[in-house]
Amino acid sequence: MKIIKRAERVEAVEYSLYFESIEFRGGGFSFPCSKDGVVGELAPAGQANYEMCLKDNGKTYENMGVESNSWSYMEPAEGRCDCGSTVVLSHDETECSKCKRLYNIFGQELRRLSPEEEAYERANDYAYSSEELY
């Protein structure tokens, strides 16, 4: 297998404009927006709430400004199988959907177990998960 795309960490961020209830601090409304606080198109109920917050700003709800929420995640590597198919290496024992070759998360081809080895593995898995060992 040839790795055609390396695994990479992806950083993501979302912004929301937050209006906090003056009477019930900690509660309120937030609306998805741009980094600069520009709220885009909302569903009708969301739009009605947004307009209410703008109208009531400082009375019932207070505009607390833009809040950001960021996170990151791993985008899995992709490899070109010997058969020409692209395989997303998201977990160990990933099977090529076309030729059924098995690969680990690094793109190394794995040998398939014989039926006897499969049975042995299953018995071992059972033994290790069983409380009889403890």
Instruction: With contacts defined by CB under 5 A, name the span among 29-37, 72-80, 100-108, 122-130 that binds Zn ion.
Output: 100-108
Among 3, 38, 48, 83, binds Zn ion (CB under 5 A): 83
Contact 10, 75 (CB under 8 A): yes
CA count, 13 A, side-chain hemisphere, 55: 6
Among 33, 53, 77, 81, binds Zn ion (CB under 5 A): 81
Binding mask 13-52 for Zn ion (x = CB under 5 A): ----------------------------------------
59: tokens are 């009375």
Rounded least distance, CB 102 to Zn ion, Å = 10
Task: Indicate the residue among 69 and 85 with the shorter CB distance to Zn ion.
Answer: 85
How far apart are alpha carbons 64 and 90 in whole angstroms? 40
Task: Indicate the residue among 14 and 93 with the shorter CB distance to Zn ion.
Answer: 93
Rounded least distance, CB 1 to Zn ion, Å = 9
Q: Does 97 bind Zn ion (CB under 5 A)?
A: no
6: tokens are 């390396």
Q: Distances in Å between the alpha carbon of 66 and those of 4, 30, 32, 34, 106? A: 39, 9, 9, 9, 41
As to burial, measured by CB atoms within 10 angstroms (0-12 exposed, 13-18 middle, 19+ buried), residue 16 is middle
Residues in touch with Zn ion (CB under 5 A): 81, 83, 85, 96, 98-99, 101
